[in-house]
Amino acid sequence: MQLFVGLGNPEPKYAKNRHNIGFMAIDALAAAYNFVPFREKYHGLLAEGQIGQEKVLLLKPQTFMNKSGISVSEAVNFFKLDGSQIVVFYDELDLPPGKLRMRRGGGFAGHNGLKSINAHMGADFRRARLGIGHPGEKSKVNNHVLGDFAKADADWLAEFLTALCEHAPLLAKGEDAPFQTRVVEAMHSETEEQEDENGI
């Protein structure tokens, strides 16, 4: 069994924030693989289903970002999962928009969701770092993260979520490196096609 966690804030006003791309990824997976409807569980919204040949739980903590660890640790403890069975999807400032990097463990780069999970269960879990880009100045970070994706982001965001879903069976099997490679290749291919269409 795998537990895929998306980090975000629960109220509708935050739904389109860059900070909520983790929720967006989980919702996209639930739709792509016909998961049962989400239900309230473990201070979050939980859905059960299958990706490829693997049973997967999808979790969206409803505790607000800085208390995500409450929800995640409850689910992890109930199902008795170890770090190899947990993937956390979250927004990454230090990656360009639409870039994916997988890693296990490591620091938190100021991300309050990761800090909370670490406080409740340690840092040994798999991470899907979803690039949202950096605004360029530290003073603009808060507004960037808590701001909605712009209309100009719509195309790459849709392509990114589609690529994550298409290659999710690799992630469900624990094959993080091949998953990352396939998603990166898919995004690179989309960029080349757009450049061709635009005559660049």
Count of C-beta atoms within a 10 Å radius of residue 59: 27
Q: Is 19 designated active site?
A: yes
Q: Check 19, 111, 144, 167 and give the catalytic one.
A: 19
Helix axis angle for 176-197 and 154-166, nearest 10°, is 140
Q: Output the DSSP codes for 88-147.
A: EEEEETTS-TT-EEEEES---TT-HHHHHHHHHH-S-SEEEEEE----SSGGGHHHHHTS
Catalytic residues: 19
